[in-house]
Chains A and B, each alone.
Chain A
Amino acid sequence: MREQRSKGVAGTAEGDGEASLGAAFVIQWVNELASAVRDQRDYLTQLDAAIGDADHGINLDRGLRAAVAKLEGMEQEAPGIILEAVGTALTFTVGGAAGPLYGSGFRDLGRALGSKERFGPEDLLVALRSGLEAIQKLGAAAVGDKTIVDAFVPGLAAFERGLRAGAGWPAAATRARQAAEDGMRATVPLQARKGRASYLGPRSMGHQDPGATSTALLFSALERAAGGTDRAVGEPP
């Protein structure tokens, strides 16, 4: 049964289908993200060359490799602790604006999950929201400024709508990825209002934002990790 539940009160009992996610899932999510960024590294850098310092792909790849290395041996830790560690690794290794932004995003995402061993999609929704808040607190960006936020906000909203519609958790993750990609593409005509790209004024128009692009990869990694759990939320374990 997919019962609607008030946010932030995940069941932790064994066999609770809604709390089916754990350490293995978040590790897979991060691994999926790391491999997507590795594959797209040159593309991200190329996007950044048009409106930034041409280091987004290289920096993010380096940071995620460091994060993945840090995850080894953490399989027994709580998912929240693992994601916090990812955040710390990104903060210290990525550099530029992406390091602090993704670093604090993952850190707060992990903190929101706390120390519980298992969590469900509703908890993930709350945690993603915390991650977005951390990013917005640091960058003060809103939708339309041509940043990470342009993909994150619609991705998160679609994820929530998917869960509310009872679509099942992997389907909600798919909707989130689609919406994040739409948001990413919608940055093309925008004039940047945040970051170094904003110094370019109208010259920033006509280029897809590299931050929104890497955030779309974050959601596509989530989608793949969701499929990889091999069972939809609500199904018996």
Chain B
Amino acid sequence: MIQSVHRAALILKELGSSRRLGVTELGERLGLAKATVFGLLRALEAEQLVERDDEAGKYRLGPAMLQLGNAFLDNHELRARSLLWAESLASRVEEAVRVGVLNGRRVLIVHHVFRPDNSLQILEVGASIPWHACALGKAMAAYLEAERRSELLDEDLARLTGKTVCDPAVLDRELDQVARRGVALEDQEAIVGEAEIAATVFNYAGVPVGAIGVAGPVERLLGDGPSPHLVAAVRETARSLSREMGAGRLSARAR
């Protein structure tokens, strides 16, 4: 890799994970000389990828990043195809709907439709959730090939709440069950009080490319066991979306 491009990418990531940083701070974090960091920042600033805070003279991400982020979302096939399906699922079940893809060991939320009740909600697009703590992640992991699944199970499984399942053997069994039932559940494993019901989206080759799910208060989603109405709606939506992604009827159901 060209070193300066690599370093510039590291700078952008550092700025993305803290609010604003000075040249010295960046140099310390990345183990680079101040002059090197300054040169890179100047080049990034010229492209509006970073900008300088007038008051403190510190750097933060620039406006061009928003355009790039939006372009990523616009070019995302699953997201583009899920827009209408997610909207109609949300209005049908009157809960929030999220669409996610597996990105390493985390689920990246690429689309989020608010619960249609006019309440203030936080847009979760761009949120990144450990795969084992959400139904979206479990829906995808359940259909991965054995080797990839054990990779996911092997590494650190962080505890997000008291209910997060962190035991690989228990998770492995749960994934088998997800594959049998065609639906994944999450019971307050990422956020206390919140649950999710999700199903897998497959492509033409029958490979899981994402998942779509309903997220909301645990008492409404899983009150006396998973709401059959929600489970049916989620599975149906995931099947339709899979067909749009080119999946055949068989591969969309199960492999």
Contacts and interface: CB of A to CB of B under 8 A. Distances in A.
A36 interface: no
B120 A97 contact: no
A95 B122 contact: no
- Chain A, interface SS category: helix
Interface string B116-128: 0001111010011
Interface stretch (A67-75, A176-184, A197-205): A197-205
Contact of A53 (B121, B127, B129, B161): B121
Contacts of A200: 122, 127
A225 B216 CA distance: 37
Interface stretch (B147-155, B190-198, B240-248): B190-198
Interface in B225-254: none
A192 B55 CA distance: 26
Interface stretch (A3-11, A110-118, A123-131, A132-140): A132-140
Contacts of A206: 19
A199 B160 CA distance: 12
A117 B152 CA distance: 53
Interface string B74-115: 000000000000000000000000000000000001000000
B18 interface: yes
A195 interface: yes
B17 A55 contact: no
Contacts of A49: 120
Given A138-B161, A140-B161, A205-B19, A199 B127 contact: yes
A39 B164 CA distance: 35
A210 interface: no
Contact of A138 (B109, B162, B217): B162
A154 interface: no
Given A52-B122, A199-B122, A137 B162 contact: yes
Interface size class of A (residues with CB under 8 A): 20 to 34
A33 B216 CA distance: 28
B217 A202 contact: no
A97 B119 contact: no
B18 A202 contact: yes
A96 B127 CA distance: 19
A96 B193 CA distance: 5
Interface in B166-196: 188, 191-194
Contacts of B219: 95
A99 B217 CA distance: 11
A97 B191 contact: yes
Contact of A140 (B127, B159, B193): B159
B119 A55 contact: yes
Contacts of A140: 159-162, 164
A157 interface: no
Contacts of A54: 119-120
A196 B122 contact: yes
Nearest to A141: B161
A60 B128 CA distance: 28
Interface string A215-235: 000000000000000000000
A138 B121 contact: no
A185 interface: no
A197 B34 CA distance: 33
A139 B161 contact: yes
A151 B89 CA distance: 40
A99 B17 CA distance: 31
Best-surrounded residue of A98, A99, A136 (most CB of chain B within 10 A): A99
Which 8 residue pairs across A and B have the least CB separation, nearest first? A199-B127, A54-B120, A97-B192, A97-B193, A138-B162, A140-B159, A137-B162, A140-B162
13 contacts: A52-B122, A55-B119, A96-B217, A97-B191, A98-B193, A138-B163, A140-B159, A194-B160, A196-B191, A199-B109, A199-B124, A202-B18, A206-B19
